[in-house]
Amino acid sequence: MADKVIVIGGGAAGLLAAGTAAELGAEVELLEKNDILAKKLRISGKGRCNLTNAMPIAEFIACYPGNGKFLYSALARFTNQDLIEFVARYGVSVKIERGQRVFPESDNAHQVAEALISYAKEHGVEFRTNTKAVKLCVSQGRIEGVKTNTGFYKANKVIIATGGASYPGTGSTGDGYELAAAVGHTIITPFPALVPLRVKEAWVSLVSGLTLKNVAATIIQGNDTKGGIREFGEMQFAHFGVTGPIILTLSRQVSLWLREGSSVTLSIDLKPALSETQLDRRIQRDFEQVKRRQFKNSLNQLLPKSLIPVIVALSNIDPEKPVHQITRGERQNLAKLFKELKLGIVGTLPLSAAIITAGGVCVREIDSKTMQSRLVKGLYFAGEVIDVDGVTGGFNLQAAVSTGRLAGFSAVEGN
């Protein structure tokens, strides 16, 4: 008799899990509480969908600060190349951008969502939208089905792929944590992993929307003098603080430090290619060319226009002062400000605004080779509901589909 598999959650992980199980001959029903499938996927990457990353798959593990080693089997089962070839079968060609990020050539996340839906449909998956799972039915340590808002669904295999607790408007409201906890699973308290940061300095609102490229950002815990954690690349200012790729990558550690009660400082190096001495020489050369100008009008070659008034104010140099009257000490302090533009971090945006949730179902209670629960036979997990999270750059979606593929396969072949 064919396996009866129920997949809870119609996102990327759930769709690939359902399609895989159905392709292997199982009778599969997918329960989705929204009225449409893949809601979060459709808005991912600002609607462009950063599918995966083109770096060698062997290097992926290091890009998951949250329990990366748990993913060895899943990533081996379904690699970045497998994903690229998979979406190509459904007409989605890809392109590689900065940082090895892989996007659909169309820049259209809906294309990726429809590819996954087509795959599941093609193999006979039955979709049950507007259907919310409320309880896992377990007897003598084995799954027997799922109770929902519309009735009971009998199954000998269930895959939870409900996502985390970020973007609750897309349906990721932590339902999977409650379902898993009710049958004995430990839930590592969720917190925002890829999330913008709020700062105390009011001047950031004056440069809201400004993007800085090729800068270095360092986060420092308390009074630590060892240098902190540094990322190089692109960031943006927002009215509340800072965001952008390098900020999002650093935000996981910021979240952890803030939860511990530590103070956190962000230090931005506006000119990371130059040492302080080299930068001082560069400032001297620029000043020499505009020596009769007032200081406030002398930094056009060094800074974006909107940032100039901020740096002028922070430098404590009289804005009206002619450049040729600026002292050596003032100039050196200016160079230091360029190298260490500091902001006090007061918090993150809420979990609901995070791109990815850290925390979730404890990985020690899941067999990483099959994604099956170690507590309940026939229960599997896939995607962000598991306590695994990666940096920005396509790694989290790859983790979702890889664990989904492995869960779908194991639910049928593992028995």
Among 327, 348, 369, the domain boundary falls at 348
Among 320, 348, 376, the domain boundary falls at 348
pLDDT value of residue 170: 67
CATH number at residue 136: 3.50.50.60
Q: Which long-range contacts (CB under 8 A, 24 or more apart) does 165-168 make?
A: 165/190, 165/351, 165/352, 165/357, 166/192, 166/351, 166/352, 166/353, 166/354, 166/355, 166/356, 166/357, 166/384, 167/40, 167/43, 167/352, 167/354, 167/355, 168/352
Are 344 and 372 members of one domain?
no
Are 162 and 264 members of one domain?
no
**What's the CA gap between 324 and 59, in Å, rounded?**
52
pLDDT value of residue 287: 95
Residue 414, pLDDT > 80, answer no
78: in domain: yes
Residue 96, pLDDT > 90, answer yes
Residue 1, pLDDT > 60, answer no
pLDDT value of residue 189: 94
**What's the CA gap between 34 and 148, in Å, rounded?**
13
Mean pLDDT rounded to a whole number for the chain? 95
Are 45 and 16 members of one domain?
yes
CA angle 97, 99, 101 (to 5 degrees): 50
Cβ(380)–Cβ(411) under 8 Å?
Answer: yes
152: in domain: yes
Confidence of residue 165 (pLDDT cuts 50, 70, 90): confident
Residue 172, pLDDT > 90, answer no
Residue that wins the pLDDT comparison between 231 and 223: 231
Confidence of residue 132 (pLDDT cuts 50, 70, 90): very high
Q: Which long-range contacts (CB under 8 A, 24 or more apart) does 332-338 make?
A: 332/276, 332/280, 334/283, 335/276, 335/279, 335/280, 335/283, 336/276, 337/311, 338/269, 338/270, 338/271, 338/279, 338/302, 338/311
Average pLDDT over residues 248-263: 95
344: in domain: yes
Based on the structure, what is the number of domains in the chain? 2
Cβ(280)–Cβ(326) under 8 Å?
Answer: no
Which stretches of 207-342 are DSSP H helices? 245-259, 276-289, 308-315, 328-339
Are 341 and 213 members of one domain?
yes
Helix (H, G, I), strand (E, B) or coil at 105: coil
177: in domain: yes
292: in domain: yes
**What's the CA gap between 372 and 393, in Å, rounded?**
27
Among 292, 324, 348, the domain boundary falls at 348
Supply the range of the domain harboring residue 97. Answer: 4-191+358-413
Share of the chain above pLDDT 90, in %: 92
pLDDT value of residue 313: 97
Which stretches of 44-123 are DSSP H helices? 72-77, 80-88, 109-122
Residue 209, pLDDT > 90, answer yes
Are 212 and 182 members of one domain?
no
Are 146 and 220 members of one domain?
no
Helix (H, G, I), strand (E, B) or coil at 150: coil
| Number of neighbours of residue 25 by Cβ within 10 angstroms | 13
Average pLDDT over residues 360-379: 98
- Model-level pTM? 0.92
Are 65 and 183 members of one domain?
yes
What tokens were used for 297? 């009008």
353: in domain: no
Residue 114, pLDDT > 80, answer yes
Are 329 and 213 members of one domain?
yes
Are 385 and 284 members of one domain?
no
Q: Where are the beta strands (DSSP E) in 83-210?
A: 94-97, 101-104, 126-128, 133-139, 142-148, 151-154, 157-160, 187-194, 197-199
Confidence of residue 227 (pLDDT cuts 50, 70, 90): confident
Cβ(386)–Cβ(356) under 8 Å?
Answer: no
Are 281 and 301 members of one domain?
yes
Cβ(188)–Cβ(410) under 8 Å?
Answer: no
Nearest to 385 by CA among 408, 362, 355, 407: 362
Are 158 and 246 members of one domain?
no
Are 243 and 377 members of one domain?
no
